[in-house]
């Protein structure tokens, strides 16, 4: 669906490349996470694919055609939800959806159902300038779907949402995947990426050092272990044992037999730990 080959990009008037020869391939029906700290090149790459930046080197093939060769009809087939809600503040929620949907050839999806799904149906006739950030983000999210696009770009889709609404958004993204939509997810939230993405690309300083599924990354780079917390007199002590070779290790069994256990937890490296390990950078 999207094939990026040897992509280089520098902003006009600057000699510094912000994107340095990146390569990736996103299949149809895949949720692809693009992860990295601020200024790593996430938004620039997304803007190139969307077509807002065109003076790039290399190739960006999307839906079987080089991005530069697409005309305005390209926008009939993609949806974008930016990381900040850019809505008409003096119009109501429903008017915002109606207005944008009128620019597309396709008959819009049922707006009331979409509003209901994200908990905004009762607010459909309220002006946006009275909405909270979370409400605006939810409306921003469904606006990208009204024309039933094939590829959807989400930039921090759960930013500013409470856990319940974030869960609804994540469920909707997974449903879209089931329907065969291709999703390009830009985020620095590793938990969201871990829950949703089939594969993730880490981007740092314009380069992609690794692309893989979150599960594979954990197997390859994570140190699985067991952490045992037990009482020793009035103190609490903690010991950690690698899962690999656990059955040959007599110390955990000894603790179980001789100590009063406070907690036992299996330890898994998070995607964030792996990101830091591989890139030497934090996701801020």
Task: Give the count of residues interacting with another protein (CB under 8 A).
Answer: 32
Nearer to another protein, 99 or 238 (CB): 99
Q: Candidates 48-56, 57-65, 176-184, 259-267 — which segment interacts with another protein by CB under 8 A?
A: 48-56
Q: Where are the alpha helices (DSSP H) in the chain?
A: 42-50, 74-77, 93-101, 111-117, 133-143, 163-178, 190-196, 214-221, 250-258, 271-279
Positions 67 through 86 that interact with another protein (CB under 8 A) = 72-73, 75-76, 78, 80, 82, 84-86
Q: Candidates 34-42, 93-101, 225-233, 262-270 — which segment interacts with another protein by CB under 8 A?
A: 93-101
CB of residue 146 to another protein, shortest distance in Å? 11
CB of residue 158 to another protein, shortest distance in Å? 19
Nearer to another protein, 84 or 241 (CB): 84
CB of residue 88 to another protein, shortest distance in Å? 6
| Tokens standing for residue 192 | 């969201």
Nearer to another protein, 52 or 174 (CB): 52
Nearer to another protein, 54 or 213 (CB): 54
Binding mask 122-151 for another protein (x = CB under 8 A): ---------------------x--------
Nearer to another protein, 79 or 214 (CB): 79
For residues 125 and 92, the answer to whether their CB atoms sit within 8 Å is: yes
| Structure letter (DSSP) for residue 230 | E
Taking the CB of residue 62, how many other CB atoms lie within 10 A of it? 22
Residue 275's Cβ-side half-sphere holds a number of Cα atoms within 13 Å equal to 26
| Structure letter (DSSP) for residue 5 | E
| Tokens standing for residue 24 | 């990736």
Burial of 121 (0-12, 13-18, 19+ CB in 10 A): middle
Nearer to another protein, 87 or 142 (CB): 87
Q: Does 11 contact another protein by CB under 8 A?
A: yes
Positions 209 through 268 that interact with another protein (CB under 8 A) = none
100 φψ region: left (φ > 0), alpha (ψ -120 to 50), beta (else): alpha
Nearer to another protein, 52 or 264 (CB): 52
Distances in Å between the alpha carbon of 34 and those of 29, 31, 45? 16, 10, 9
For residues 184 and 34, the answer to whether their CB atoms sit within 8 Å is: yes
- Which parts of this chain interact with another protein (CB under 8 A)? 11-12, 47, 50-55, 72-73, 75-76, 78, 80, 82, 84-91, 95, 99-100, 102-105, 143
């Amino acid at each position: 669906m999207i094939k990026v080959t040897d992509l280089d990009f520098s902003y006009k008037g600057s000699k510094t490349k912000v994107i340095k020869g990146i390569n990736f391939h996103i299949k149809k029906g895949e949720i692809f996470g693009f992860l990295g700290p601020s200024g790593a090149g996430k938004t620039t790459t997304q803007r190139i694919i969307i077509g807002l930046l065109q003076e790039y080197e290399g190739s960006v093939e999307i839906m079987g055609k080089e991005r530069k060769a697409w005309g305005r009809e390209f926008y009939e087939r993609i949806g974008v939800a930016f990381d900040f809600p850019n809505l008409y503040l003096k119009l109501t929620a429903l008017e915002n959806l109606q207005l944008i949907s009128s620019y597309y050839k396709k008959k819009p999806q049922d707006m009331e159902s979409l509003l209901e799904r994200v908990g905004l149906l009762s607010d459909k006739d309220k002006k946006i300038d009275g909405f909270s950030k979370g409400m605006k983000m939810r409306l921003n999210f469904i606006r990208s779907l009204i024309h039933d696009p094939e590829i959807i770009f989400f930039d921090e889709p759960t930013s500013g949402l409470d856990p319940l609404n974030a869960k609804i958004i994540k469920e909707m993204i997974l449903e879209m995947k089931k329907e065969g939509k291709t999703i390009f997810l830009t985020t620095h939230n590793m938990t969201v990426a871990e829950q949703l993405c089939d594969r993730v690309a880490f981007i740092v300083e314009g380069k992609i050092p690794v692309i893989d599924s979150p599960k594979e990354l954990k197997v390859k780079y994570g140190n699985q272990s067991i952490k045992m917390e037990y009482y020793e007199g009035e103190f609490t002590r903690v010991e950690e044992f690698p899962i690999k070779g656990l059955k040959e290790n007599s110390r955990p069994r000894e603790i179980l037999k001789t100590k009063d256990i406070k907690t036992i937890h299996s330890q898994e490296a998070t995607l964030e730990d792996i990101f830091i390990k591989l890139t030497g950078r934090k996701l801020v």
